[in-house]
Copies of this chain bind each other. A is one copy, B any other.
Amino acid sequence: MKTTRFGKLIGVSLGPGDPGLITRRAWEVMQGDAHWAYPVRSRKSESYALGITQRAGLSLPEHNGALLFPMTHDAEKLGIYWLEAANTVRSVLQTGRDVAFLVEGDASTYSTFGHLARTLKALDDTIEIEVIPGVPSFHAAAARLGEPLADVDDMMAIVPAGYGIAMLERLLEDFDTLILIKVKPILDDIIALLERKNLLAHSVFIEKSGAPEERIVRDVTSLKGEKVNYLSLLIIKNPDRQRGDIARGCRKVVRVEEQ
């Protein structure tokens, strides 16, 4: 039997960098007495998520600690770090205190929070978990550009660019908006594809949207050969794609695929 009521884990999404994009619920949690946990990539590196709270004028509370999530794709190594992080969180929760895990962007979208929550659940599935969603970086980027990300009937995809140029070329047949993440390893090839498809004028590169070091590059070609930051994305609009018919809610039901 548990002697103290366990605290709950709260995934606190902070948006991609602009402290104005922190939600009221996230703000409320951070003003409370939760322990702050924040991801770092190495013992020496700063936490990007924590930096957002600092720019928002919030002070680090007494109860806080970094959790180490190194940048590796080695599943075994990752598993060890996730387990260590989950155990650390669990030991705080055991004292009855809530843990606010601070994440940049949205906690459900390409975030370390998912791994932490899953590992914690595996340790103890009675632990309560709350997720506070946040503004994803691509929506913040679109707002900064002043251009819609998706308009009526638009198809939109978020794609790790590393799947390759053949995949991207295929997606351009179906999608009106492509958001490419992790563009670094094949950026030059992507630029060549955009050139070939006449899409350079409809593409914008954005790095660290909303942060002080935000960079917006409309002349994507100028990035050739550059090693870009991992917190960067490419928004590609595809205005000339050929659309199929669409069945809409206010018309009579049409089974498009049978036409």
Nearest-CB residue, chain B, relative to A134: B135
CB pair A255–B164 under 8 Å, yes or no, is yes
In the complex, per-residue mask of A138-176: 1 if CB is within 8 Å of any chain B CB, else 0? 011011101111111111111110111111001100110
Nearest CB of chain B from residue A179's CB, rounded to whole Å: 9
Nearest-CB residue, chain B, relative to A11: B143
CB pair B143–A246 under 8 Å, yes or no, is no
Q: Is A1 an interface residue (CB 8 A)?
A: no
Q: A133-B140, A162-B248, A185-B249 are in contact. List 13 more A-B contacts (CB 8 A).
A: A21-B24, A21-B25, A71-B250, A108-B142, A108-B147, A109-B148, A136-B136, A136-B139, A156-B158, A163-B244, A164-B255, A171-B174, A185-B248
A-B residue pairs in contact (CB < 8 Å), sample of 27: A11-B143, A13-B143, A23-B135, A24-B56, A73-B248, A73-B250, A106-B149, A108-B147, A111-B148, A114-B151, A117-B146, A133-B139, A133-B143, A163-B245, A163-B246, A163-B256, A164-B255, A166-B256, A167-B257, A171-B174, A182-B248, A182-B249, A185-B249, A185-B251, A185-B253, A186-B253, A186-B255
- Cα A96 to Cα B43 in complex, Å, equals 51
Q: Is A132 an interface residue (CB 8 A)?
A: yes
- Cα A164 to Cα B174 in complex, Å, equals 12
Nearest CB of chain B from residue A203's CB, rounded to whole Å: 16
